Amino acid sequence: MYNGILPVYKERGLTSHDVVFKLRKILKTKKIGHTGTLDPEVAGVLPVCIGNATRVSDYVMDMGKAYEATVSIGRSTTTEDQTGDTLEVKAIHSAHITNDDVDRLLEDFKGIIEQTPPLYSSVKVNGKKLYEYARNNETVVRPKRKVNINDIGRISELDFKGNECHFKIQVVCGKGTYIRTLATDIGAKLGFPAHMSKLTRIESGGFKLQDSLTLEQIIALHEQDSLQNKLFPLEYGLKGLPSIKIKNPHIKKRILNGQKFNKNEFDNKIKDQIVFIDDDSEKVLAIYMAHPTKESEIKPKKVFN
């Protein structure tokens, strides 16, 4: 039985569910879950939690992500990416924009920004996914939401082909960011229709492309009985949370029994959540959270016996 987090390289053409389905057959276990959907036409890092690591999948999902995307200016689509039907066309040439124009514009997208999710997306409105409204030709008001763009920058020269302009950007962002919407918004600020024509996720949950294994590599390692060596411990998925190492055996026992604690029993100021780590084994004991009604107390959220 495998336990840990496996960063998978998802190839274009596969859904995230396809990857999980294939891994369940390869590894002969149902206890597998991915940590954030990648559209079929998107390649890149897909962290997969296996065995007891499925208990930390939400935390891996909440960690930052990084992407490389190609922005195509001059044409917009129904899906905001290369798979959709053309909505609007407006010819753009080298006289219209420069590298410096794009660089200055991208600065405006850093920090907390507001996005309107694509109509063809799984965001729910009144219990129904947006793409279901789109497929049924139903009108729906898409809710705006705030997302965090930690960093964004151009990583290629502007490439003018025909009546379009293409360039690559790298984006470091928080959960819930739509890169295709970012591409269309960049175009709008430049005064042109636009879409995202290619996307690769280069980092997710702290895992990078170079950490990731293809399904073929996973099969080979599994057959050689050496795949477990490539799995990251579940503790890796909690590194985004503050932690305290516990030495006292009595305190360890109380934690593993799921007892409540007064915040004053620990030196650290606990605001929201805290991970207790066994000082001897470096293994996680539990995740505790602030008590919802008693400000001075913390209570267990997940205990790892």
> 266, 206, 265: which is closest to 236 by C-alpha?
206
Question: Which residue among 39, 81, 185, 211 is the active-site one?
Answer: 39
Helix, strand or coil, per DSSP, at residue 146: strand
Residue 209: how many CA atoms within 13 Å on its side-chain side?
Answer: 9
Residue 74: how many CA atoms within 13 Å on its side-chain side?
Answer: 18
Largest CA distance in the chain: 72
Q: Residue 39 catalytic?
A: yes
Helix intervals (H) in the chain:
16-27, 57-62, 99-107, 130-135, 179-190, 215-223, 249-256
DSSP state of 270: -
Six-digit token string for 302: 């997940």
Which residues touch 184 (CB under 8 Å, ≥6 apart)?
A: 76, 80, 193, 194, 195, 196
Can you name the residues that pair with 9 across neighbouring β-strands? 45
| C-alpha to C-alpha distance for 157 and 155, rounded to whole angstroms | 7
Six-digit token string for 181: 């919407």
Q: At what angle do helices 215-223 and 16-27 cross, to 10 degrees?
A: 10
| C-alpha to C-alpha distance for 143 and 141, rounded to whole angstroms | 6
Which residues are annotated as catalytic? 39
